[in-house]
Structures are given as structure tokens and as C-alpha cells.
Amino acid sequence: MAALQALAARQEPRQSRLRPRHFGCRPERLQRHGWMDTGVFFRKGVTVMRRAIGLSLSVVAVLMLDAVPAMADDFSAVPSEPAARSELSRTGKLDFPAFPARRRSSPDGLSRGRPAASPDDGLDPFIPAATPDSVVDNESEQIRLVLTSRYSNPATVRAVRAMSGRQAVELYAEVSSRIDERSLEPTSYDVRVRRALRNLGLALDNDAFLKGLRISSDSFRTDAFRESLSRLAGRMTVRSRSDAMAVMNSVMKEAERVSGLTPSVVAWEFALASVDTLDRFSGLDPADPGMVRGAEATGWRTAALDEEIVGIGVEVREHADGLVIVKPLKGSPAAEAGLRAGDVVTAIDGRDIAGLKLAESSDLMTGPVASRLMLSVTREDGTKRSFTVVRRKVRIWTVNDTRMLNSSGTAYLSLSRFSASSTAELDAALEALYAKGMKSLVLDLRGNPGGLLTTCVEVADRFLPVGTIVSTRGRLASDTMVEKATFARTWSMPLVVLIDGDSASASEIFAAAIQDNRRGVVVGVKSYGKGSVQTHFPLNAISGDLRITTALFYSPNGRRMAGEGVTPDVEVVDRDGVANGDRMLREAERLATSPELLSMARAASRVKSADPAKPRSAALNNIADPDSGRTVVH
């Protein structure tokens, strides 16, 4: 092209009559490059230029076609990851692309993003069209959802930006080692690496990834990088960590062509992809470099498990119009300001939050002690209110409601989570209820997502004089344990436990322990069925937490709880909730004074407490449930 420009420059100046469409460009682009008034183009010169351009484009097309066969032509040809694992276990090898390739257009000519270019539409016909919706497989959609959620979280983005390449490589090695050593069902390095390549390939089309990490969206560069990943996936053999590291280093080298796709981003995604291949309860959570409190200070415990946070004291969850308040915490600034359960927060400090992800909205609610937070709220009756709340240290209580239900001595106690302070809270609440005349107890675990296993064992120990509370079984001897009742002073009153479909993990362990040991009656509907053990490992390469499923829970009778849950002794379905009366609670109140329950309590009172000499397993201290992700406390 430079030679052709020089040839044109030597001609006598006159107004060019060359039509802009011959260059596939608009007039302003010709003017910018000085082609509108550069000289006379006689017929033969124009013919030479056309032939030269045609020859150049033909060479480019041949080179591109030569690279295309290395890529898969259709998402539907890519097997799902479970199928890939099955094939790997059967044959030890697998011929499957690391990620689905992008097609230039769908069979019906429709595509996501802009349509395929035509010669006269003013678009460059050699930029590939985006992936058509018709050829996107379900697993790719799931990966896209994961990527969007991951990089819509401002705290995660800040952590990745602050991470050096060396730290990210060390993180990948650390995560790989933990999975190899402790995961209940570790995946092969081949599966992990292919997932990493697929994540990176799909991430280049993900707006949250590109925007959050400020990565170039230049189509030529990203397409070239994607093609290099496909070729690499086709020829690689990954049998060990060293093989995986070699592939990662190759990807880092290829990523240099994409602005912003740094070695730290590549290694970070390799580490996350390794965890992605495990079960859905395993996870990698970096600490927010812009904030040191609660979860960051203790290494892994989340705000929901802390005794104290800095905020306004409100539990929220995602809503189409912003955030809906689940409840204001007891004694919090939110409660004092008049915020109520059911209020929908539509704006924070003047910014509209409709449509934002929970992590994005929650990030706007964080701030230091004594800072002000302005909230725009829509109430359930449609009225709009504005609140200005000052942040302060707020105590998180897990025993939120205690009261006497009737004159017969039936007491009620609600436990929202098994946190570090729950045992002490429960002891104090039971003493207070006993002083008011408690003769039977309804313990409400509805909506309780679990928490610390060690706290669950302590709480169950308050009601069981003898018997097994829970057992776990894992790959290693250290992950296999049996916890029995050992507490010397147990409560012997009749006990009813309330559960629902949101009662999970530690809540299910407690309910099963009471049920299998015939210490009380369980009322409600079948519980969630989350019966796996997540062990938390504070990270060394960066600040944060790695949680890996290391074992499964079993009830005292040896019943596997994962996927099964707890079936209540008395099923009560209350489809309209407590709006028209709490049917579950009414039934629990009736059963609390029944002869059958009184007989169970008397039998428990006659049993001598177990010998408390045997210490608890040290592994209990690192076992806790991950956040449900549905609610956040601020």
C-alpha cells in the first residue's frame, strides 16, 4: 500500500474521481489519509491498484482459512464437561476443544451483536461476526454466567488488579496442590487446563470481564489469541502439574498480543478454572485489598459468621429494582432509622441500582465508621421514602427472637445461623426462657443456611446426653471423624425443631441428630440436602480463602445427607408463609405439649451423660458452610 501511495503522489495534482467504495472506506477516512486530493489517477493506474489490493486480500484470506480448521466450527460439536470427564476416565485421553469457536454467522444469517457485513454496508467484511445464539451450548452459557458474576464483583476485580504475575503463578500452584491433596473428588489436570482455556476464550466476549479488567476488545487481536488457544488445546498433552504450568506459560506468552490480558489475569483464571471443575460448593475468594475487616482480618470467615461488622445493620438480597431488605438487625442503625423487612432500596447515595448484581449493589453500601449512607426506598404499599443512616459497629445476633408462646410453658427460639457467638447466645437465651417458666421448646431453624460445624456440634450437645451427633467420611483419615455428645449439663425439656427447604448443612445436621437419637420431633418440610463438608484453607500467595469439599456428612444412623436432606417427622406445608398465620409454628406448639414428646424428654433425662474426656476433632475448626450468595449483611 505504501508503494501505491508513492505512485499516486508522483501524479499531477487534481481532484480524485475514485469512488470511496473501492476502498471499503468512507470519504472522511480517505480525507484523513490524504487520498482525496493526492493526484491524477489514470485508468491503468487504477487497474493496477485494484489488482494489487485484490491479490493482498486473497493472500490474507488464504492465511485465515489455513488457521480456521484448527477451530471448532460449531458450539454443538463440543461435548459437555461431565461427558468429557467420563471420556477421560474411560480412555485416558480426550479430543475436545478447550472452548467453542466463534462462527462468522449462523445458518439463518442471524448473529449476536452486529450482522455479517456486506460489501456496501460500510463495515469491514473481514471482522468476524459475534457468536450466534443458535449455536451456544448450555455449558458455555453457564460459564458465561459464572464469568459475569465473578467480574461484576468490584472486590474481586480490585483483588485481581492488585495481584502481581508472580503472586498469581504462586496462587495457581497453591490451589493445584490443595486440590490434589484434599479434594474429595479431584479432577485431572487435563480437565482443569481445558476449562481454563475455555474460560479465557469465552471471557474475551464477556463485557464484565473486559470492562472490569480493562482488557482490549480489539477483534483481530482477540480472535488471533482465541485461535492460538484452540491450536494449543488440539496438540497439548497434560498429565501433571508441570505439564499444566507449561501450558499456562505458553498462554501467557500468547496473551501478550491482547492489551490488558496480563500474566496475572491468565494465571488467576487458571487457578479459578481449577476450582470451577470441582463441585459447586468449592470456591476461591480473594480478600478485598481496599478493605480489612471481618472476613479479611480472620482469613476466611464471612461477615455473616462474624460477631461484629461496620455498617448500618441490615440483611439484603437482590431484587429487580435494586435490593430488598430481608430484615434489619436487632439494635442496628437501620432498625433505629425505621427501615423494615420488605423495603426495596432503589438508589444508594443518589445512584440508581436497578438491574445491578448483588455484589455491585453491596459494594456501594460499604464504608467506614461514622460515614453517612443515603438510601431511596420503596415500601410494600408503593410509598417512597428517603433515609440517611450513619454507619457504626454493629453486633450480629444469631438468636433473634425469643418469647413464651403460651401459658403452658412453651417457649420459642429462632436461630438464624451457626456462628462463633451462637452457643453463648443460646445458653443465655435458654436461661432467660427458663426463668420465665419454660417447660418445652420450639427451636426454629427455618431459613438457617448453616455455618460453623463446631458450633453446630456444641448446640446439639446442649440437648443430647448421649449418642452420635454427626460423622464425616473423606479421602483422608483426617477428613473422617465421628462426633458424639459429651456435654455434662443438657436440657431435658420436650423439643420441637422447625425446618424448611432453606434449612441447610449445619441446620440439617442438628435436626438429624435430634431425630435419629429420638430426642425430639422435627416439623416442617424436607430440608435443602446440602450434606458436604467444605474445609477452608487461608491462602499464602495472596490474602483470601480457598474452600474445598473434603468429605460428606452422615446422620447418626449412617444416612448420607448430601442430596437427601432431612424428612420431617410431621410434614406441614405452608405455601403462603406467615402472611395468613404460621401453620408450622401452630403445629409445633401443639406437639410441644403432647404425651409422645413428653415421653421422649423423660427418657433423655434418665440417660447418664457421656464421658466428656475425649477431645473434639481439630478439623472442626476449619469446617464451615460457604455463603449462600443470596443475602448479604451490611
pLDDT band at 512 (very low <50, low <70, confident <90, very high): very high
pLDDT at residue number 576 = 63
Helix (H) or strand (E) holding 425: helix 422-435
18 has a pLDDT exceeding 60: no
Average pLDDT, stretch 23-42?
Answer: 41
In terms of pLDDT, which residue wins out, 217 or 456?
Answer: 456
pLDDT band at 216 (very low <50, low <70, confident <90, very high): confident
Structural domains of the chain, ranges and CATH numbers in brackets? 2-66 (no CATH), 75-109+127-278 (no CATH), 308-395 (2.30.42.10), 399-633 (3.90.226.10)
What are 519's three cell numbers? 430426642
Give pairs for 381-384: CB < 8 Å, separation 24+.
Answer: none
| E-assigned strand segments in 336-494 | 344-348, 351-352, 372-378, 384-390, 392-395, 399-404, 410-415, 440-444, 468-474, 481-484
SS3 448: coil
Q: Is the pLDDT of residue 32 over 50?
A: no
pLDDT bucket at 589, cuts 50 / 70 / 90: very high
Cα distance between residue 255 and residue 236, in whole Å: 17
| pLDDT average, residue stretch 344-350 | 91
pLDDT at 612: 54
From residue 91, alpha-carbon distances to 42, 72, 81, 86, 252 in Å are: 67, 22, 15, 9, 30
What pTM did the predictor assign?
Answer: 0.72
**pLDDT the model gives residue 276:** 96
Alpha-helical segments (H) within 204-284? 207-213, 219-235, 241-254, 263-276
- Whether the pLDDT of residue 624 is over 90: the answer is no
Residue 630 pLDDT class (50, 70, 90 cuts): low
Highest-pLDDT range among 49-53, 105-109, 485-489:
485-489
Q: What is the pLDDT of residue 329?
A: 86
**SS3 of 539, please?**
coil
Q: Indicate if the pLDDT at residue 404 is higher than 50.
A: yes
| % of residues, the chain, pLDDT over 70 | 71
**Cβ-contact 274, 245 below 8 angstroms:** no
Look-up: residue for cell 436461630? Answer: 415
Residue in 236, 230, 205, 215 with CA at minimum distance from that of residue 98:
230
Say how many residues make up the chain.
634
CA 29 to chain centre: 46
Q: What is the DSSP letter of 286?
A: E
Share the mean pLDDT of the chain. 78
Q: What is the pLDDT of residue 619?
A: 56
> Cα separation of 451 and 354, whole Å?
30
**Per-position DSSP letters for 566-577, written without gaps between them:** ---SEE---TTT
Nearest to 365 by CA among 343, 334, 341, 395: 334
CB atoms within 10 A of CB 187: 18
State which of 29-38, 64-73, 447-456 shows the largest mean pLDDT.
Answer: 447-456
138 pLDDT band, cuts 50/70/90, is: confident
pLDDT at 84 exceeding the cut of 50: no
Which phi-psi region, left, alpha or beta, contains residue 329 (left: φ > 0; alpha: ψ -120 to 50)?
beta
The Cα 525–Cα 571 span in angstroms is: 5
Considering only CA atoms, which of 370, 160, 187 is closest in space to residue 268? 160
Per the DSSP assignment, residues forming a β-bridge with 402 are 413
Distance CA 23, CA 50 (A): 9
**Maximum average pLDDT range among 5-9, 77-81, 87-91, 214-218:** 214-218
Q: Which residues are catalytic?
A: 505, 516, 530
How far is 247 from 625, CA to CA, in rounded Å?
Answer: 34
Model confidence at 429: pLDDT above 50: yes
Give residue 36's pLDDT: 43
Q: What percent of the chain has pLDDT over 90?
A: 48
Angle at CA of residue 510, ends 509 and 512, nearest 5°: 65
**What pLDDT score does 603 carry?**
86
CA 14, chain centre distance (Å) = 65
Is the confidence at residue 21, as pLDDT, over 50? no
Mean pLDDT across the stretch 327-335? 87
**Least confident segment among 37-51, 249-263, 428-442:** 37-51
Phi-psi region of 349 (alpha: psi -120 to 50; beta: other; left: phi over 0): left
Per-residue confidence (pLDDT) for residue 489, from 0 to 100? 82
Q: Which of 25-34, 183-192, 262-271, 396-405 has the lowest mean pLDDT?
A: 25-34
How far is Cα of residue 318 from the mean position of the Cα atoms in its chain?
A: 14
Give tens-digit pLDDT for 302-322. Answer: 444 567 788 898 888 888 888
pLDDT higher at 251 or 579:
251
